Amino acid sequence: MGGVAALARAAGHKVTGCDRNVYPPMSTQLKKLGIDIHDGVDAEQLDIKPDCVVVGNVMSRGVAVVEAMLDRGLPYQSGPQWLAENVLQDRHVFAVAGTHGKTTTSSMLAWILEDAGHSPGFLIGGVPGNFGESARFGNSDYFVVEADEYDTAFFDKRAKFVHYRPRTVILSNLEYDHADIYSDIDAILWQFHQLMRTVPGGGRIICNGEDENLRALIEMGCWTPVETFGTNSDTDWTASFADKVERRIGMRGPGGQAAATRWQIGGLYNLENALAAVAAAASAGVSLEQAVDALSRFEGVKRRMERTATVANIAIYDDFAHHPTAIQKTIESVRRRFPGHRVLAAIEPRSNTMKLGVHNEAMADALQGADLVWMYRPKDMGDDFETALSVLGDKIRMFGDYDQLVADMSTRVVQGDQVVFMSNGGFGSARQTLTAMLQRMRGG
């Protein structure tokens, strides 16, 4: 929604907005754009009599500002509908969909198109380092959108991405998630099937050829040419690392063309994301060699394994990972990139799916690769959560207070540790607090 606000501002509208608990980097970005943020969801902010209220999917009936909007008969739309009608119309839309990696893949694709001179517009659920903003109107027919499967608004329970009418779609992976709105994987597959129905026959589907759920999706019905990607030789587009620490990558396209480069990030999952972006960029005429070369200058994404500080040779990272699969892959990647160093994980479970206990067992498995784990336990987490994680034994430490969690971390980290804070929220500023505490204790 912050990105939608930025696009509306770029289109010349006066924009204001509200939310609960606004935090960087989005709050900082909106402030720079001159967009006023009202902290809270009370009705008074509607006294300005807006021409249109764009409603995010976290708003529901019973919320004061929503009830006032309806009672006063104000015009309103969902964010995806506004985007489709005011920004995406008559453009070549690249939609990046899947359970994991959407933000990074969208950022890579936007940068590849930018580096090739196409000046794309984009709407991304994070801040790409190469752009410093999460949304841009763009100066071409190309637009990259992070295509979320979560529902659209309280008055529109379809997945957001059915509004976007993409011409090129990336399907990165598909797992069960969003247990608060989807009963099972079949319910999610059905929503993805609706997306597939909107892609024209002259478009292109870039699909992870190693994902069984995506294969099932294609079998449900597909009217668009499909190109597969993966890290084995059975896919149209393939990629691999040229060294053990994941600093050099190589890629090969369906015509046998190949290219290699050194890049600034790592992780097998990011290699897959990059390969998908390269394959999608081909539909805009960007060659594999051009695209891979652009990846050498890709600067990553805020809050996606972003190294935010190094204190006394202790590296501290901020990561958005909040699904067990993403958490496990992040830990494995850090382990490979920094052999011989301890990997310490601090987790804040915030998603509705996590709070419902759906991922309890998977979370325990995902954390096995870490040397130590600090888990923040929200008050509304069920008892089964703690029981499931008890298999980690002395490796895990659980706290219901941010300050206590940080204080305990400060006594246990040592030189050489790779400390990763994982949350899709603010984590009570625990990462910033630990950084400041270590600077006082150890200097640097």
User: What is the residue-level pLDDT of the chain in tens, covering all 444 positions?
Assistant: 989 999 999 999 999 999 887 777 778 888 888 998 988 999 999 999 999 999 999 999 999 999 999 999 999 999 999 999 999 999 999 999 999 899 999 999 999 999 999 999 999 988 899 998 899 999 999 999 999 999 999 999 999 999 999 999 999 999 888 777 888 999 999 999 999 999 999 999 999 999 999 999 999 999 999 999 999 879 999 999 998 888 899 999 999 999 999 998 888 889 999 999 999 999 999 999 999 999 999 999 988 889 999 999 999 999 987 788 889 989 998 998 899 999 999 999 877 666 666 677 888 899 999 999 999 998 878 778 888 899 999 999 999 999 999 999 999 999 999 999 999 888 999 999 999 999 998 765
Question: Is residue 157 one of the residues assigned to a domain?
Answer: yes
* Whole-Å CA distances, 46 to 18, 281, 296: 10, 42, 47
Same domain flag for 277 and 153: yes
The verdict on 191 and 262 lying in the same domain is yes
Among 56, 74, 92, identify where a domain stops.
Answer: 74
Shared domain check, 85 and 33: no
Q: Does 152 lie in the same domain as 52?
A: no
154 and 204 within one domain: yes
Are 360 and 247 contained in the same domain? no
Give residue 12's region: left, alpha or beta (phi > 0; psi -120 to 50): left
Let me know whether 94 and 187 are in one domain: yes
We report the CATH number of the domain holding residue 343 as 3.90.190.20
Give the pLDDT of residue 249: 96
**How much is the pLDDT for 60?**
95
- State how many domains the chain has: 3
Residues 114 and 254 in one domain: yes
Q: Which of 295, 326, 344 is the last residue of a domain?
A: 295
Across 242-351, where does the E strand assignment appear? Answer: 248-252, 258-262, 306-311, 314-319, 343-347
Does one domain contain both 108 and 166? yes
- The Cβ of residue 419 has, within 10 Å, a number of other Cβ atoms equal to 24
* Residue 300 belongs to a domain: no
> Are the C-beta atoms of 363 and 325 separated by less than 8 Å?
no
End-of-domain residue from the set 270, 295, 320? 295
Residues 61 and 116 in one domain: no
Whether 301 is covered by a domain: the verdict is: no
Same domain, 88 and 62: no
Residue 248 maps to which CATH number?
Answer: 3.40.1190.10
In this structure, the number of other CB atoms found within 10 A of the CB of residue 192 comes to: 25
Residue 85 shares a structural domain with residue 57: no
Give the domain extent around 59. Answer: 2-74
pTM of the shown model: 0.83
**SS percent in the chain: helix, strand, coil, step 5:** 40, 25, 40
Query: Does residue 285 lie in a domain region?
Result: yes
State residue 352's pLDDT score. 66
CATH number of the domain enclosing 61: 3.40.50.720
Q: Considering the domain boundaries, does residue 267 fall inside one?
A: yes
Angle at 418 between CA 264 and CA 442, to 5 degrees: 115
